[in-house]
Amino acid sequence: MKKIFLLLFALIVLLGAFTAWKIFGPSVIIPEGKFYYIKTGENYPAIKEDLHRRGIIKTPVWFDMVAQNLDYKNAVKPGKYEIKKGMSLFELVRMLRGGRQTPVDLVITKLRTRENLAGKAGKMFEFDSLQMIAFLSNNDSLNVYGLDTNTVLSGVLPDTYTYYWNTTPKKVFQKFFDASQKFWNDERKKKADSIGLTPAQVSTLASIIDEESNYAPEKSNIASVYLNRLRKNIPLQADPTVKFALKDFALKRIYERHLLFDSPYNTYRNAGLPPGPICTPQRATLDAVLNAPKTDYLYFVAKSDFSGAHVFAANYDDHLKYAREYQEALNREDSIRKANQ
């Protein structure tokens, strides 16, 4: 009798150990890409089947047992979940039950169009690019922010924004807008007013400058040129606005035929600022506009040494001289390139 008791006890211990190993042991398999996604509206049976089909869990029985004990079956939460090496069923279910998602970092650098923003966001969230562009192209959605489809990118500053995978387009944009509002404090608003521009107009001008030059020390002088031209009602004649109008951002040289293109964004044909930003402006460039020095400059052209710097001029004759030097340098570069082909 004692031997039978000991045998039963040993079996119970072994069964307990086996159960503990199945539940608490490293039995979860890392999927390709290491993340598991649960879409909004998915239910427990579908998740269990998918986990088994993809080989993340070996058998649904043990998963069911843990899910039942942790009350997960009625507590499904959508999201992006990281499956880590050595994870147990207990850890997996507890993570899913608690909705402990892995955050998504959306890094905004330079984006030129609403479509660019929608495409980038659509690859990182549960929603797709069509849903994002629908939001960005709807003036009813944007009116609450004081924006429209032309000025929408003025509410998007380059930065890293952290979300959850199942965030909606509206919540994605709300975080953009909140960061923009924080940037536009009372001091900056007063500076914008002192130069006769709204924050959205400052964003538009800064976006042109960002497309004109990557050379930070000159951006305030470039801003002074454009501000002087705006005050005198002289067309800005900014080449990047022509590229934006044509949606041809690879153009290296702007020819007469390009300048004739009819678009409100073509600042050769239209005086004043275009309807909205032509890219997401850098914070430093916004400040360069707000703190632009008082100058007499009305013109600038790239230096002929291709250093990225510019030559500034207050009169047209000087500007023509510098422009000819730059064009001659371009022609020499074209000849050298063709000769080496």
User: pLDDT digits over 11-26, tens only?
Assistant: 554 554 556 667 788 8
In percent, the amount of the chain with pLDDT more than 70 equals 94
Residue 340 has pLDDT above 70, yes or no: yes
The residues, ordered by sequence, that sit 6+ positions from 127 with a Cβ below 8 Å of its Cβ are 121, 168, 169
Looking at residue 49, what is its pLDDT?
Answer: 95
Which structure tokens are listed for 172?
Answer: 């994605």
Distance spanning both ends of the chain, measured CA to CA:
96
Looking at residue 24, what is its pLDDT?
Answer: 80
CA–CA gap between residue 291 and residue 181 (Å, rounded): 19
Q: For the chain, what is the radius of gyration of the CA atoms?
A: 30
The distance from CA 81 to its chain's CA centroid, rounded to whole angstroms, is 22
115: helix, strand or coil: helix
Residue 304 has pLDDT above 60, yes or no: yes
Per-residue three-class SS string for 48-110: HHHHHHCCCCCCHHHHHHHHHHCCCCCCCCCEEEECCCCCCHHHHHHHHHHCCCCCEEEEECC
Cβ proximity of 280 and 154 under 8 Å: no
Looking at residue 305, what is its pLDDT?
Answer: 85
Q: Which CATH number is 20-98 given?
A: 3.30.1490
Looking at residue 328, what is its pLDDT?
Answer: 83
pLDDT bracket for residue 329 (50, 70, 90): confident
In the numeric block, the tokens 């939001």 are attached to: 135
Residue 50 has pLDDT above 80, yes or no: yes
| Segment 218-245 mean pLDDT | 96
pLDDT bracket for residue 192 (50, 70, 90): very high
| Phi, psi for residue 261 in degrees, rounded to 5 | -65, 130
Looking at residue 88, what is its pLDDT?
Answer: 94
Residue 3 has pLDDT above 70, yes or no: no
Q: Give CATH 3.30.1490 domain extents, the chain.
A: 20-98
Residue 334 has pLDDT above 90, yes or no: no
pLDDT bracket for residue 231 (50, 70, 90): very high
Looking at residue 15, what is its pLDDT?
Answer: 57
**How many residues does the structure list for the chain?**
341
β-bridge partners, 159 = 108
CA–CA gap between residue 84 and residue 91 (Å, rounded): 10
CA–CA gap between residue 22 and residue 167 (Å, rounded): 34
Q: Greater confidence, 309 or 155?
A: 155
Nearest CA among 56, 59, 51, 62 for reference residue 24:
62
| Segment 164-187 mean pLDDT | 97
Average pLDDT along the chain: 92
DSSP 8-state class, residue 278 = S
Q: Strand 35-38 relative to strand 79-82: parallel, antiparallel, unpaired?
A: antiparallel
The residues, ordered by sequence, that sit 6+ positions from 74 with a Cβ below 8 Å of its Cβ are 44
CA–CA gap between residue 162 and residue 169 (Å, rounded): 13
| Phi, psi for residue 121 in degrees, rounded to 5 | -65, -35
Looking at residue 335, what is its pLDDT?
Answer: 77
The beta-strand segments (E) located in the chain are 35-38, 79-82, 104-108, 159-163, 299-302, 310-313
Q: Which pLDDT tens digit goes with each residue over 280-299?
A: 999 999 999 999 999 999 99
Alpha helices, DSSP H only, in the chain? 2-24, 44-53, 60-69, 89-98, 114-122, 129-136, 139-142, 169-183, 186-194, 199-212, 219-231, 239-246, 256-259, 283-290, 316-340
CA–CA gap between residue 289 and residue 222 (Å, rounded): 9
